């Protein structure tokens, strides 16, 4: 069973988000880690939904 490319990308974004959140908890970088979450928003631009980058940015803002 193969996942469609957009589902695989969404799963990758979610896994990277969780990893970055854990990294953010353990490293005392303060604002520096907020820049890492920007990569997830950029990745979400390649998903077909128009609201996906907004949702990703909102979730990353809450996590940071």
- Give the closest residue to 44 by CA, choosing from 20, 16, 25, 2: 16
CA–CA distance, 4 with 58 (Å, rounded to integer):
25
**63 touches 24 (CB < 8 A):** yes
pLDDT in tens, 2-61: 767 778 888 888 888 888 778 777 777 665 556 667 777 777 777 777 787 777 777 777
Helix ranges (H only) for 1-64 are 5-26, 32-44, 52-63
HSE-up of residue 2 (Cα within 13 Å, Cβ side): 2
pTM (2 d.p.): 0.57
């Amino acid at each position: 069973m193969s996942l469609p490319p957009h589902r695989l990308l969404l799963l990758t974004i979610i896994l990277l988000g969780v990893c970055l959140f854990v990294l953010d908890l353990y490293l005392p970088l303060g604002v520096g880690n907020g820049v890492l979450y920007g990569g997830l928003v950029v990745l979400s631009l390649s998903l077909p939904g128009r609201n996906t980058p907004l949702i990703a940015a909102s979730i990353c803002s809450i996590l940071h």
